[in-house]
Amino acid sequence: MTTIQAATHEELVAHLFRRAGFGATPHEMESVEGMGYDEIVDKLMDFSSPDIFPTDFISRFHKDQSDLRLAEAAGAHWVYRMVMTDTPLREKMCLFWHRIFATAGTKLIQHRVIVNQINMFRERGIGKFDDLLVGLSQDPAMIMWLDNQDNHGSNINENYGREILELFAMGVGNYSEDDIKDTARAFTGWTVVNPEYMSIKMRNNTVRPYGYISWQYQYDAEDHDQGSKTILGETGNWDGEDAVRIICDQRATAEYVARHLYHFFVADEVPVPQWPHQGPKDEGAIKLMVDSYFKNSHSIKSMLETMFKSDFFKDESTRYARIKSPAEMVVGTMRLAGPIELPSDETYYAQSVCANMGQGLLRPPSVEGWQGGSEWINTGAYVERINFASKILNDSDKEGVKDLLIRIKNTSGDGTLTSDRLVEACLAVLGPIEVAETTRDRLKIYASKYGNLSWESNESNESFNTAAISIIQLIVSTQEYQTA
């Protein structure tokens, strides 16, 4: 492999890590050295090993992250998992489904039930779409969020029947009002155990170190509508699992999921409410993923593999074509800065910053979730982004920042760096990040005030660290860093 080919391969791998994770740390880039691109994709998609987290330690120092009553604690809990995971794509898929199956704690008394929903996404998020939708339909957070506990055989509530068709699986224009009614009838009896009693128990304010009592799914056969139903042209005495099977067999479902995957992993699309009126950016890409969906028994993993290994994903035009969500930017920056040492307030700060930027984790604004794209960027949110990234990477005592500084020094063969080489080294260890020539030139103009740098003495080493960190802070303020 020539030097140019190696650099091109490295840039492609960095692109993959930005999309299939939260951006690569230098250690992650090293871990795939010598591997082919498809082999790296397979490695990122290997979820066979569970992440191990120090739950006992968290319980000891952060009781609120153990009982998970409050939104702030639940958000901090998830930030910790995203930053510390060894399988970033698994957490990225949880973000993906949370954005589509948007559920908030405002109606749920406490947030453990939503954390349980995210756990369900970890288990089913890249499997068969049918299994994921069944899990979602039996999920207590979703049942209570969309009032399916009030959906009775004698008196239906259409909320969940409508949203599973409109927002979760098919999109507007692919079903009728009668389909909504009969889908709702299919899900009658899918409820939670004793909702009135449980709502009282869940409001108990006593601190519980191992968590709070939570809603539990229950199927009530006596409350299920046993009559004949017609859903999307198929007639029978259907229940919820039948409804899911019928929905997942529709081409509109495959196209809807494929477009969401493209929107989240490839390039920003128009907001979802506009999809019925405006076709996808790349119809060929959608067709490839739809074909994979049907050839592989509705497998989300197969759709992801098709997408990541496709020419349209690897095309240079797709690089930096997505604005990072607040969670992606925050978590990616924290992973660069190094592991979180418990006890820590950083996860609380991170979840609050995400909310200030417009993405309160586990607190979507509505059942429509977040639209993404340009929605993420306004003057206030951009200032929050820059301030957060600059602050997190400003501490040379952090393990990850120390590692970045050492790697920058190691690009020198003689213990010195010119200001121009400092800029190039910083761009390389942070990605590598490809920036516009005008951006690169301005970075070099700014860096020129530091002159030639060395680190043979304590004083010169301190000066070098100051210069390198200031360039890193400028880079994370660029448009390229804020996009993926």
pLDDT digits (tens, 9 = 90+) for 339-360: 999 999 999 999 999 999 999 9
The contacts of residue 35 (CB under 8 Å, 6+ apart) are 43
- For 223, the token pair is 């409350």
Closest to 183 (Cα-Cα) out of 145, 209, 157? 157
The β-bridge relationship of strands 229-231 and 416-417 is unpaired
Q: 285 with 311: CB under 8 angstroms?
A: no
Residue 68 lies in a domain: yes
> Is the same domain home to 72 and 196?
yes
> Is the same domain home to 40 and 169?
no
> Is the same domain home to 95 and 207?
yes
- For 353, the token pair is 């910053």
Q: Which of 279, 308, 337 is the last residue of a domain?
A: 279
Longest dimension (CA), the chain: 83
What stretch of H or E contains 219? strand 217-219
Closest to 26 (Cα-Cα) out of 427, 442, 462? 427
How is 116-140 classified by DSSP, letter by letter? HHHHHHHHHTTSBHHHHHHHHHT-H
Q: Residue length, the chain?
A: 484
Share of the chain above pLDDT 90, in %: 85
Residue 343 lies in a domain: no
Give the model's pLDDT for residue 181: 98
- For 8, the token pair is 């091109």
Give the model's pLDDT for residue 6: 53
> Is the same domain home to 111 and 134?
yes
- For 62, the token pair is 């952060």
Residue 354 lies in a domain: no
> Is the same domain home to 157 and 39?
no
Closest to 467 (Cα-Cα) out of 419, 410, 398? 419
Residue range of the domain that includes 451 = 399-482
pTM of the predicted protein model: 0.94
> Is the same domain home to 74 and 159?
yes
Instruction: For 184-205, write each residue's pLDDT tens digit.
Output: 999 999 999 987 777 777 776 5
> Is the same domain home to 106 and 138?
yes
> Is the same domain home to 39 and 59?
no
Residue 394 lies in a domain: no
Residue 163 lies in a domain: yes
> Is the same domain home to 36 and 59?
no
The contacts of residue 307 (CB under 8 Å, 6+ apart) are 261, 262, 265, 266, 285, 288, 289, 313
Q: Rounded to whole angstroms, what are the CA distances from 237 to 226, 315, 382, 481?
A: 6, 48, 53, 53
Give the model's pLDDT for residue 158: 97
Q: Which of 231, 253, 279 is the last residue of a domain?
A: 279
Residue 289 lies in a domain: no
Residue 347 lies in a domain: no
Q: 332 with 91: CB under 8 angstroms?
A: no
> Is the same domain home to 39 and 116?
no
> Is the same domain home to 61 and 100?
yes
The contacts of residue 120 (CB under 8 Å, 6+ apart) are 135, 136, 139
Phi/psi at 152 (nearest 5 deg)?
Answer: -110, 155
Residue 27 lies in a domain: yes
Residue-wise pLDDT tens for the chain (484 aa)? 444 455 589 999 999 999 999 999 999 999 999 999 999 999 999 999 999 888 888 888 898 888 888 899 999 999 999 999 999 999 999 999 999 999 998 888 889 999 999 999 999 999 999 999 999 999 999 999 999 999 999 999 999 999 999 999 999 999 999 999 999 999 999 999 987 777 777 776 555 555 567 889 999 999 999 999 999 999 999 999 999 999 999 999 999 999 999 999 999 999 999 999 999 999 999 999 999 999 999 999 999 999 999 999 999 999 999 999 999 999 999 999 999 999 999 999 999 999 999 999 999 998 999 988 888 988 889 999 999 999 999 999 999 999 999 999 999 989 999 999 999 999 999 999 999 999 999 999 999 999 999 999 999 999 999 999 999 999 999 999 999 9
> Is the same domain home to 125 and 259?
yes
Q: Which of 279, 310, 329 is the last residue of a domain?
A: 279
Q: Rounded to whole angstroms, what are the CA distances from 210 to 16, 60, 156?
A: 38, 10, 37
**Chain centre to alpha carbon of residue 217:** 26
Instruction: For 118-175, write each residue's pLDDT tens digit.
Output: 999 999 999 999 999 999 999 999 999 999 999 999 999 999 999 999 999 999 999 9
The contacts of residue 278 (CB under 8 Å, 6+ apart) are 270
Count of domains observed in the chain: 3
